[in-house]
Structure 1
Amino acid sequence: MEDGRKYPGWEADQEFLRKQRENVPEWYVTAGGSFFTPNRREHPGIPLPFAGDFSIGENRFRVLGVYSCGKGLAVDLCRELDPKAFQAYLEKWGLPLDADYRDLETRFGPGALLQIEVENPFRLEFEISASVNGKESPGSESISRVYLPGIEGPWEDVEAHWLLSHYGLEKSKGWEIARYVFPWSRRREVETLSLTVKEAGKELPGTPFQVRAGERVALRHPVTGRMVTLTALEVKEKTLDMEAPFPELGNWEFPQCFQRLVYTLDPESGEEETITLRDAAPMDRPRTRDGGAARFPGAWGYIDGEPVPEASSIGVLGEADGPTATVAGAGPEAVSICIIGGADGPTAVFLAEKREPQTCAAYSSLRFQPVESVTWVPVFPHPEAEALTVELERTE
């Protein structure tokens, strides 16, 4: 897999990286958060004779090393990656290796961006815990490095080269190497060791649709095939009734128009399978009042009129990929307004209104002009996976 982009000083950088790859640091394992910059105040981990492998879907994992450290047990795992599959994925969507998430959201919109994330062949999230001598220990932190053959220049991960050299992995293949740490109060003898892994839940986009008040739409879960009928009770254009919502932001103005869809689902969406809706189109970017096109700096947000730093990290409403706010069975909550912002300005509008049970409301991306038509993307949870427990074998 090759990137092919070059720049002034490329050759000099390649020579520097070549020397870096050859200068492999001392192997010093601790329960800290790094492969090659360990806390030297902690004694190095003692290698333990355990081995094993397991699969999550089509992903095959192998235990590379197990280390008994002062503050916890460290386990290094690897999985082989398919560079050709990743190259095909990049080409399909026209993605560069160093794609900026905010640029992708503006280019594709939140609905398509979710599909891009789902199709990423390297994407895999799972929970992991260890059982040491029969005592359960959840993982506290993890780090990982990815190696793809042919990646050069600023996109190259030198630490990944070092890891391949240490563990003797083939450099003609793609790899992810990850370290998981399971803390303990003191170092102990490890007689038996097992790992329990469970694939984490993820969101799955369904078929986009448009709907008018009074119409019904059949929604199909992309994996289970379960059918749900959405009935649109109300579709209205709305405008945030705020004359100057962000006086602290000076010359910037922000979109305030959106569409509200009030609907019901039949059968109802339960806690185990919450269905949400996303606007397929991105929000309009903030603009300067003098017509400038500069990017809005920083992340921000307002909740009930109070500024909130880094609001994009707040709960399920603080996603930077556009408004995902959905009120499902809002019940007796009082009316409140919450504007959540990412680095490009407000990205979600959340209105919790007093409604009849099982009535839902979704809100489109913010626009400068009235929102007459919205393409909605239904988002379903992935079916819950079963946990897998793997007993590691002693090799001596």
Structure 2
Amino acid sequence: MATTYERYLKLNIDGSRVGLGSGESESSYFCTPKGAKVIGWAGVDGSHYCFVRGFGEMVFAVSPLNTPGNYVHPVARNFRDFLRLLLACGDTAALEQVSCWEQAQFGVFLQDNPLTGEQRAVLDSIGEKLLLAPMEQPFAYIKELQAGFDYSRLKYPEDYYEWVPVEPKIPEWKVYFDGNFWGHQGRERAGKEISLHRQFVWEDEVWYIPAIYTCSKGLVVDFCPQVPAERIRSFMDKWNLSIESVRTDFSDEQRMQIDAENPLAVNTNPNVVLNGTVLSGSHGCGVSWNPCFPESNGLEVKSVTRHYGLDPAYGWAIWRSVFPWKTKRKPQIRSLSVTLMQEPVAMQGPHFHVSAPGERIKFTHPTTGVQHTLTVQEYERQEIPRERFGSQDQEFPMHYTVMSYTLSPDLPDAAFTVTDCLRSDRPRQKRTNPNEPQASDSAFSFGIIGGAVDPTAIIFGGSGQGRLHAVCSALHFEPVDDVEWRMVFHEKRREDITVELI
């Protein structure tokens, strides 16, 4: 029986109208994989589509003008799916660029490039004569395929490696008490791996504990929450995130909300109970696998996903926690359980201004719906003594505002804070010539009642209602007449969970 590709060729269709023009079946481009058979040319920038020996009917897009290491991507599991994707998108250009696009960009491209009459005629002919229907959710199909593909299997001509260095080999898998995913220092022995393959559901998330490691100093546990790719794409589309996005693109409040919504963030504090004794974590580290940008995942996370056999079509928020032994010698493990406790998530609240003590600000808690009253007790400007700063070459901001207040009804510790909406001024070099521009330092930390560069809060009194809270504003070179304060609520969104491991 003829393959879909052979049946397509017999149609004698001018595929150039949809970016699949005829031409040489071999390519001289440096980035075309070895064993490639070209099945169509886009007609611009040397982009072409091919089968590759050893991969069956899988269709690859080759884009010579892409960035190094990003030249070749699979776009369809077979030629039949390739044509169905073409029917859904109208032109191979959309398929080629999915690897570097987000869902929103893909949608905009399709909207901005409607089908011409000639394209529609070609696509109608393909669909009718080969009995094919457009692919549903073409973007998700291609992203899933690319996320699960092992790019190391593709081989290239020698001149390719002049442009793209050979990717370092994944090192031998070893886990250390004082190490992390990037390596370790010293002469410590690697821990002994004990495979668990323990899977459980916490609220709406699937968690996986593949293994633990017994080291001379303590226990190492790897936690692997699984995140659906659709959830990651939705989050990235909402905030218009990409590989190039940087934190400075967003306001403080936006960053707070992004941190709260980030599906690849692990905001969890774990404890383990070993043979009836609670072990608290001393340190940890984390990496994440993002299936939306498989080529951007580092060697470290690739090592983890390969060792544990994690499905690359999903996102993985991988966290390693380390628990020191409470005994001088490594104990024998008779029983082991882990308790996961979610860290409170920060939620932005209303802004307010204060002109004098005695003012009352009413607000409603966003989760409980309870109305509270913040009563300002003291409100005054203060200045840090100049002699507190030891540098002779720099000037430091010294002016700030202190506010003390009570809450009625009061809120639990760490459930509510107040912060200045502005950041502190940065230290600057002293000027000897008043006409010279001043340069400011990018890093600055100075304590105010235990605080640092940003506003800080302290609490006085007992646990009853009416405790006195205090907060300091940001530091500035000149006194600030009006401080804009922001309420921040800290909420724990899920109950603790205990999981038996051994």
Alignment of 1:1-396 (within 5 A): 15-16=164-165, 19-20=167-168, 23-35=169-181, 37=183, 41-82=187-228, 85-86=231-232, 89=235, 92=238, 97=243, 103=248, 108-109=251-252, 113-149=255-291, 151=293, 156-184=297-325, 185-213=328-356, 214-233=358-377, 235-236=379-380, 238=381, 240=383, 242=385, 246=389, 248-250=391-393, 252-269=394-411, 272=413, 275-288=416-429, 289=431, 290=434, 292=437, 294-296=439-441, 298-301=443-446, 315=450, 317-318=451-452, 320=453, 322-324=454-456, 326-329=457-460, 358-383=467-492, 386-392=495-501
1:88 to partner: Cα distance: 5.0
Q: Shift in Å at residue 146 of structure 1?
A: 1.2
Q: Which amino acid aligns with 1:377?
A: R
User: Higher Cα Rg: structure 1 or 2?
Assistant: 2
Higher relative contact order (CA 8 A, sep 6+): 1
One-letter amino acid matched to 2:316 = W
CA distance in 2, matches of 1:327, 1:179: 32
Native 8 Å contact 2:415 2:490 kept in 1: yes
* Number of matched pairs: 338
**One-letter code aligned to 2:481:** E
User: In structure 2, what is the Cα distance between the partners aligned to 1:176 and 1:13?
Assistant: 34
Shift in Å, 1:286: 3.8
Measure how far apart 1:182 and its partner are: 3.1
Contact map agreement 1:196 1:387 (CA 8 A) in 2? yes
Letter in 2 for 1:190: I
Distance 2:162 2:202 in 1: 38
Q: Cα distance 1:50–1:377, how it changes in 2: closer, same or farther (>3 A)? A: same
SS in 1 for 2:455: coil
Q: 1:37 to 1:192 in 2, by over 3 A?
A: same
Contact 1:56 1:199 in 2 (8 A): no
The alignment partner of 1:177 has SS state of strand
Does the residue aligned with 1:128 lie in a helix, a strand or coil?
A: strand
Specify the SS of the correspondent of 1:124: coil
Q: 1:94 to 1:179 in 2, by over 3 A?
A: same
**Contact 2:364-2:372 within 8 A present in 1 as well:** yes
Q: Identical aligned pairs, as a percentage?
A: 30
Query: TM-score when scaled to structure 2?
Result: 0.56
Alpha-carbon separation, structure 2, partners of 1:172 and 1:13 = 31
Q: Would the aligned equivalents of 1:205 and 1:222 in 2 still touch at CA under 8 Å? A: no
Deviation at 1:159, TM superposition (A): 0.8
For 2:375 and 2:163, the matched residues in 1 are separated by: 59
Give SS of 2:475's match.
Answer: coil
For the residue of structure 2 that corresponds to 1:181, the secondary structure is strand
Corresponding residue for residue 61 of structure 2: none
Instruction: Give the AA of the match of 2:460.
Output: G
In structure 2, the gaps of 5 or more residues are: 1-65, 72-160
Does the Cα contact within 8 Å between 1:108 and 1:281 map onto a contact in 2?
Answer: no
Distance of aligned partners of 1:210 and 1:75 in 2 relative to their CA distance in 1, 3 Å threshold: same
More helix by share: 2
Q: For the Cα contact (< 8 Å) 2:346–2:491, is it kept in 1?
A: yes
| Structure 2 counterpart of 1:167, one-letter code | Y
Contact 2:336 2:500 in 1 (8 A): yes
Distance in 1 separating the partners of 2:237 and 2:339: 36
Contact 1:30 1:42 in 2 (8 A): yes
Q: 1:35 to 1:219 in 2, by over 3 A?
A: same
In the other structure, the counterpart of 1:344 is none
1:137 CA drift (Å) = 2.7
Larger strand share, 1 or 2: 1
Secondary structure in 1 matching 2:352: coil
Distance 1:391 1:10, change over 3 A: closer
How far the C-alpha of 1:389 sits from its partner, in A, is: 1.5
Q: 1:239 to 1:137 in 2, by over 3 A?
A: closer
- When residues 132 and 210 of structure 1 are mapped into structure 2, their CA distance, relative to the original with a 3 A threshold, is same
Q: Separation in 1 of the partners of 2:256 and 2:392?
A: 30
C-alpha displacement of 1:131: 2.6
For the Cα contact (< 8 Å) 2:270–2:340, is it kept in 1? Answer: yes
Show CA shifts across 1:275-295 (max 9, x none): 321111223344444553534
Shift of 1:296: 0.6
**Distance between the aligned counterparts of 1:267 and 1:13, measured in 2?**
68
Shift, 1:217, TM fit? 1.5
Contact map agreement 1:259 1:372 (CA 8 A) in 2: no
CA distance, structure 2, for counterparts of residue 31 and residue 217 of structure 1: 50
Offset at 1:78?
A: 1.0
The offset of 1:51, in angstroms, is 3.4
Corresponding residue for residue 346 of structure 1: none
- 1:212·1:232 contact (CA, 8 Å) conserved in 2? no
| Superposed displacement of residue 229, structure 1 | 0.2
What is the CA distance between 1:148 and its match in structure 2? 1.3
Which consecutive residues of structure 1, in runs of 5 or more, have no partner in the other structure?
Answer: 1-5, 304-313, 332-356
Tell me the distance in 2 between the aligned counterparts of 1:45 and 1:234. Answer: 55
